[in-house]
Amino acid sequence: MDVTRSLRPLTMADAQALAVLREAVERTDRTGMHADEADILDELTDPKLDLARNAVGLRQGEGAGGRLVAYAMVYEPDHVREIARFTGAAAVHPAWRHRGIGTQLLAWMRARAGALRAERHARVPGELLIDGADTNEGLAALAAGAGFAPCRHWFGMANELRYGPRTAQPVPSGLRLVPFDETYDEATRTAHNEAFRDHWNHTGMDRTDWDTWITGARSFRPGLSALLLDAEGQVAAYLLADEYVADGAATGRRSCTIGHLGTRPAHRGRGAAHTLLTHTLTEAARRGYARAELVVDTANPTGALGLYERMGFAVERTYVTYARALD
């Protein structure tokens, strides 16, 4: 079944159909991630996503009224170090699997990423990355058959908040704990880029992405977020929290997501992350959240995994990033 000629660019009008498709996929794949129509609209209006060129869908039947049964997107890196890493996102409705559609979507993503690399990043090697839960045997087989190999693993961890308030942690000497305030927004972005400079595939977050996906996102919860400031008023460490409404609607439980937690290198080893995490978990429990969630790189270089385990987080899922070099 050759679907490449039937792929059509996604548009804003596809938001509802894509939300329906993604929910059908989630019922089978159980990644723990849900998206409603508003979330999809946020994705489709991402200023970094070229819908006309880098996002396609496959419909059952002809015309705009047909049901969306598969889609694929390619995200181009803004900043490149040694390797230009492109991220692919794709899914096929469970009822339409095992027909070769996934293989052809992967081929489309590879071709699209390859063209973008040749056009804009020709001086460095390129890779295409795709992600999924490690329980998704179909994805693992599909990736292996297309020449992808696992390159990174991530733990999805959760902490039940029903056990009540935690003992407050002393603020590290010379620092002060303050609620997140937009006054510190740019300083927090700068601190984030410094804190994650030594992490895999971090090339720096610019103002557009920060405004779109971090403090400007609908999911961002400033009341659950906090900063540690040094004597000069600079951000030494930060915790930015989110709440994903679609997840709560699907599970019936409100979750506080630890979206970004980082400490500048000069302030590491003094308990800054422990202080911030304790503050947010206590505040989330006080506000009636049932649990806290996060995703962490299993090879995180700063010891974050050990901290989360000591703070009562337990692994619920493992996610895999698969990579293939671009030809």
DSSP 165-193: PPPPPPPPTT-EEEE--GGGHHHHHHHHH
CATH number at residue 205: 3.40.630.30
- Supply the pLDDT for residue 3: 79
SS3 144: helix
Nearest in space to 198 (alpha carbons), one of 150, 245, 268, 114: 268
Whole-model pTM: value is 0.95
Claim to verify: residue 124 and residue 165 sit in the same structural domain: no
Claim to verify: residue 192 and residue 107 sit in the same structural domain: no
Claim to verify: residue 106 and residue 36 sit in the same structural domain: yes
Claim to verify: residue 303 and residue 216 sit in the same structural domain: yes
Claim to verify: residue 131 and residue 278 sit in the same structural domain: no
> Of the candidates 125, 147, 169, which is a domain's last residue?
147
- Supply the pLDDT for residue 65: 54
Task: Report residue 23 as tokens.
Answer: 């929910």
Report the half-sphere exposure of 62 (CA within 13 A, side-chain side).
0
Claim to verify: residue 140 and residue 214 sit in the same structural domain: no
Domain residue limits at 78: 4-147
Claim to verify: residue 102 and residue 189 sit in the same structural domain: no
If you average pLDDT over every residue of the chain, what do you get? 95
Decide if pLDDT at 4 tops 80.
no
How many domains is the chain partitioned into structurally? Answer: 2
- Supply the pLDDT for residue 168: 78
Nearest in space to 99 (alpha carbons), one of 10, 6, 30: 6
Q: Does 152 fall in a domain?
A: no
Number of CB atoms found within 10 A of residue 150's CB? 13
Q: For the chain, first and last CA: distance in Å?
A: 25
Residue 189 backbone zone (phi > 0: left; psi -120 to 50: alpha; other: beta): alpha
Range ranked top by mean pLDDT from 58-72, 157-171, 209-223: 209-223
Claim to verify: residue 140 and residue 40 sit in the same structural domain: yes
Q: Does 208 fall in a domain?
A: yes
Beta bridge partners of 296: 155
Q: Does 205 fall in a domain?
A: yes
Please state, in angstroms and rounded to a whole number, the distance separating the CA atoms of residues 54 and 117. 13
Virtual torsion, Cα 14, 16, 22, 28, nearest 10 deg:
-130
Compare 49 and 1 and report the one with higher pLDDT. Answer: 49
Distance of CA 27 to the CA centre of its chain: 19
Q: How confident is the model at residue 5 (pLDDT cuts 50, 70, 90)?
A: confident
Claim to verify: residue 167 and residue 312 sit in the same structural domain: yes
Question: What is Dmax (Cα atoms) for the chain?
Answer: 66
What is the tens place of the pLDDT at every residue in 300-320? 988 899 999 999 999 999 999
Q: How confident is the model at residue 1 (pLDDT cuts 50, 70, 90)?
A: low
Q: How confident is the model at residue 209 (pLDDT cuts 50, 70, 90)?
A: very high
Q: Does 190 fall in a domain?
A: yes
Q: Does 322 fall in a domain?
A: no
What is the tens place of the pLDDT at every residue in 224-278? 999 999 999 999 999 999 999 999 999 999 999 999 999 999 999 999 999 999 9
Claim to verify: residue 186 and residue 134 sit in the same structural domain: no
What is the tens place of the pLDDT at every residue in 142-192? 999 999 999 999 999 999 998 665 777 899 999 999 999 999 999 999 999
- Supply the pLDDT for residue 161: 94
SS3 151: strand
**How many degrees, rounded to 5, is the angle at CA 29 between CA 24 and CA 34?**
60
Please state, in angstroms and rounded to a whole number, the distance separating the CA atoms of residues 302 and 14. 41
